[in-house]
Amino acid sequence: MKPFTKLLLIFIAVGFAIYSMNMPIYEGSIFIVCLAFAFYKTTHLPKMNIFILYLIVFTLIEIITIAALDNFVYGKYTGFTENTWYFSSSLILNLCICLYCRRSAVYFLREEPKLFDMANSLFYVFMLYLFVDLYALGENFIRNLDRLGFPEEEVRHLWEVTHMYYNLEIYNSILLSLAGICLFASVYAHRSEEALSVEKE
């Protein structure tokens, strides 16, 4: 099977699994599985292992945060307040991951160029995550301007601004599939390079 076909199948499988589960905690769990696989396949690359390990820690923090919000926020406040908590938390955590990937990419480019691709590609994926989070958070405020003191008659038509609210799971499924592809593609590239170097020897 060709590498592109493998990556396409991974994209479809991961995306379908995440969308069918339809829960943020499951999304994080699947991403941890992808990271664990990449960690296992790159044990001979200590710097990449450390990079992946930190990503696992960030993802665990995200899962714990979602679980805490489910216990202490969900069902206890208005939909506007709950959504603000969830979207803000996701935005902050994804921003941390994005900045970490960017910093790692710069470091790898200077110290270990062959490890640059994974960190750099994940940086762009999490940039898209940030865009989705900002869109969802902004949409949440726009849809609830009446709760912020604006006259209800003037903002009533904005209650129908719900594109991201109803499609957030789809976008997250696509982005997490892209993150999985970045991981698997980087692992495959490194293993192919090693195989070629062994053949040359």
Lowest-confidence segment of 25-39, 70-84, 142-156 by average pLDDT: 25-39
Residue 198 confidence (pLDDT)? 46
Name the residue ranges covered by the structural domains of the chain: 3-10+25-132+173-200
Task: State pLDDT tens for residues 84-134.
Answer: 999 999 999 999 999 999 999 999 988 888 788 889 999 999 999 999 999
- Across 159-177, average pLDDT: 85
Residue 5 confidence (pLDDT)? 53
pLDDT at 19 > cutoff 60: no
If one compares 193 and 64, the residue with the highest pLDDT of the two is 64
7-11, Cβ contacts within 8 angstroms, sequence gap of 24 or more:
7/181, 7/184, 7/185, 10/177, 10/180, 10/181, 10/184, 11/177, 11/178, 11/180, 11/181
Residue 44 confidence (pLDDT)? 74
If one compares 6 and 51, the residue with the highest pLDDT of the two is 51
Q: Are 72 and 62 in contact (CB under 8 A)?
A: no
Q: How far apart are CA 49 and CA 63, in angstroms?
A: 21
pTM: 0.81
Task: State pLDDT tens for residues 26-41.
Answer: 677 777 777 877 877 7
Q: Which residues contact 108 (CB under 8 A, 6 or more apart)?
A: 47, 51, 115, 116, 119, 120
